Structure 1
Amino acid sequence: MSLAQPTLDNELRIVRWNIEHNGRGRHRGEDHRDLARDILASIEPHVVLRQELTGAWDRGKADLYAEANRLGGLTPFMAAPREVRSRNPGGVMVDPARFVVDGEFEHDMPWKPICNPRVRLKGCPKPIDLASAHLCHFDPDLRATEARRLTTLADSARSALVGMDANSYPHRTDLESVALPDWDRVEDRVHYQHRTIERDGRRVSDTRPDEILSGGNPVFTDLGLHAATVLGQPGALAATASLKRTDQGPAQRIDRMYCTPDLVPALTAFEVLATDDVRAVSDHALILARFDLDVLRRALLDRDTVTEILNHPLTRAA
């Protein structure tokens, strides 16, 4: 099974996917866990940013390790589920052949915690904070708080990459391929309450998280938008969810990936995958970012290391 363009030895592949209820199906529906793992394994990812690891904490995190092992022995991290809050935590998996782990952090937000391991590409001194986030589905104000929390990953000139189900909309509507919902035509009125905010006396689509993360004087770059506008890949702006429901308006680009500007030059491709198999597993598309490994390594050399390399006798002789 191959879902994307061929893999390359000199690239880093990062996947973000909300697998609906961890592939277990709603209300004892069909179990798609094996198919989900086959889809991910076909991409040979080096980093997986996962949402809705439903039930993966049970039985000694058996589902979490089964997925990580199926993907070639990735190192898994997972936020703890909350008994009186969301039972659908997020997680991150990284390739131990490419990364060493410096730390593991969990941001205990009021609805879903944010899973945040800190890793380094082997041979690079500067770490990357990776984060899997699933912003609150019912509270726009809480989503804004969660987005502001994510900005702290980039504090003090740190490098960071975030994958999320944002449950909200991109703010550069003039550049998007899909128009925002016409709320007069949306049948699900609860969804209307969850996904709109008041501005200038009227209700509009909630774009605040994206504004906080990648708006004026941006902390992060929206990788899908960058791929479409700079790399000439318009498919990067394809809608991601919902792939199944029709009562909430047309599918929107609510699943996104962001990184700090220092990592952006390494991006080579950004794909939104919504094949029949992906749709069978989840109501969310899978998104895949490809990075040039050499360019990424250069971005992660700190200033002192670059100076040392430039001043090395062999470098100067060359």
Structure 2
Amino acid sequence: MTAPPRPSTVETVSKEEQHVADELRVVCWNIEHNGRGRSGSDDHRDLARDILSAIEPHILLRQELTGAWDRGKADLYAEANRLGGLTPFMAAPREGRSRNPVGVMVDPALFLVDGEFEHDLAWKPICNPRVRLKGCPKSLDLASAHLCHFDPDMRATEARRLTTLADHGRSALVGMDANSYPHQTALESVALPDWDKVEDRVHYQHRTIERDGRRVSDTRPDEILSGGAHPVFSDLGLHAATAFGQPGALAGTASLKRTDQGSAQRIDRIYCTPDLAPALVAFDVLATDEVREVSDHALLVARFDLDVLRQVLTPTR
């Protein structure tokens, strides 16, 4: 996958290149153990960076930055530099909690940084820089989250915390490994797990909740974030599938490797406040052979029309 070269002058811009130049690319990816592999013997970091570099993201929402805090955050900066000098942010790992922090990277050619926030929750902090598209008066809150893998109640709390990003009319864009399932199951491409057939019974305990006296798939985080008649956020995969007729936007994202946890499910998702949704032009779930070599999670790419986004972030009084 290669992106067209960026033109040096306005006169040399073709229609196709102009379309790319007017596009904002947002990528969300859980790179399994930061490309190191669980044993530490397989190092796929260079391949992961090659995959991302080919997309040329303007915003990168990352999960499992394992080890990236070490050596003065050397791995974090190596990835940001490989992607053209993005500005990186990362939530600090805490002693006795998850050692797989989340991070956000942004293109300084497009964005100014207005602030940096960290939501310190019980298992894993949420990374939340606040940026501003150059020339636009309204800020945009960005967040990368990796909801707790073992506790449904904690996931619900984390989801409720994310709703605060949209408080007081703020615009926000959130990417995550939700470790839980979308709630509008009738619209999904993949059926939720048949828990009687899932071999991994620990996974069953981690991913189900009790409702009406029976155990069902945990969809609460998605209900909190995008449920109801007036949702806090729009699920961009679902928006692309329903508004553009793009069924591939609802493809399963994880696990791409394990077979004892049922079929791959759409647990990785990107959300935005509803004001940003009209700017979306495409949403892709990439699970190529190279992506599968690097991670057990697919890579998400949301593409926005920059002109429409500028209009949204320049509200009229």
Q: Please, what TM-score do these two structures have when normalized by structure 2?
A: 0.94
Equivalent residue number for residue 42 of structure 1: 54
Name the % identity: 83
Write the distance in 2 (CA, Å) between the matches of 1:145 and 1:293: 33
Equivalent residue number for residue 267 of structure 2: 254
Write the distance in 2 (CA, Å) between the matches of 1:294 and 1:79: 31
Residue 96 (structure 1) aligned with residue 108 (structure 2): yes
After superposing the two structures, state which structure 1 stretch, 6-15 or 240-249, moved more: 6-15
Q: Identify the match of residue 126 of structure 1 among 138, 151, 162.
A: 138
Q: Please, what TM-score do these two structures have when normalized by structure 1?
A: 0.94
The count of aligned residue pairs is 304
Query: 1:116 offset after TM fit, Å?
Result: 0.1
Residue 299 (structure 1) aligned with residue 283 (structure 2): no
Equivalent residue number for residue 107 of structure 1: 119
- Kindly indicate whether the alpha-carbon contact (under 8 Å) linking 2:3 and 2:56 is maintained by their aligned counterparts in 1: no
Query: 1:231 offset after TM fit, Å?
Result: 1.1
Query: 1:28 offset after TM fit, Å?
Result: 2.2
What CA RMSD, in Å, does the superposition of the two structures yield over aligned residues?
1.3
Deviations 1:56-88 (A, max 9, x none): 000000000000000000000000011200000
- Kindly indicate whether the alpha-carbon contact (under 8 Å) linking 1:195 and 1:206 is maintained by their aligned counterparts in 2: yes
Equivalent residue number for residue 159 of structure 2: 147
Write the distance in 1 (CA, Å) between the matches of 2:41 and 2:187: 38
Write the distance in 2 (CA, Å) between the matches of 1:207 and 1:285: 20
Q: Identify the match of residue 174 of structure 2 among 162, 183, 207.
A: 162
The code of the aligned residue for 2:219 comes to: T
Unaligned 5+ runs, structure 2: 5-15
Write the distance in 1 (CA, Å) between the matches of 2:175 and 2:208: 22
The code of the aligned residue for 2:99 comes to: R
Q: Identify the match of residue 93 of structure 2 among 78, 81, 86.
A: 81
What is the 5 A alignment of 1:131-210?
131-210=143-222
Closer, same or farther in 2 for the Cα pair 1:48/1:259, shift >3 Å? same
Write the distance in 2 (CA, Å) between the matches of 1:205 and 1:162: 22
Equivalent residue number for residue 64 of structure 2: 52
Equivalent residue number for residue 229 of structure 1: 242
Write the distance in 1 (CA, Å) between the matches of 2:254 and 2:284: 15
Equivalent residue number for residue 2 of structure 1: 2
Query: 1:27 offset after TM fit, Å?
Result: 1.4
Equivalent residue number for residue 9 of structure 2: none
Query: 1:32 offset after TM fit, Å?
Result: 0.2
Closer, same or farther in 2 for the Cα pair 1:3/1:286, shift >3 Å? farther
Write the distance in 2 (CA, Å) between the matches of 1:146 and 1:219: 14
Q: Identify the match of residue 31 of structure 2 among 7, 19, 22.
A: 19
Query: 1:232 offset after TM fit, Å?
Result: 1.2
- Kindly indicate whether the alpha-carbon contact (under 8 Å) linking 1:3 and 1:273 is maintained by their aligned counterparts in 2: no
The code of the aligned residue for 2:310 comes to: R
Write the distance in 2 (CA, Å) between the matches of 1:206 and 1:109: 20
Write the distance in 1 (CA, Å) between the matches of 2:316 and 2:310: 13
The code of the aligned residue for 2:253 comes to: T
Residue 274 (structure 1) aligned with residue 287 (structure 2): yes
Residue 212 (structure 1) aligned with residue 240 (structure 2): no
Query: 1:303 offset after TM fit, Å?
Result: 2.5
- Kindly indicate whether the alpha-carbon contact (under 8 Å) linking 1:126 and 1:301 is maintained by their aligned counterparts in 2: yes
Structure 1 runs (4+) deviating above 6 angstroms are 3-7
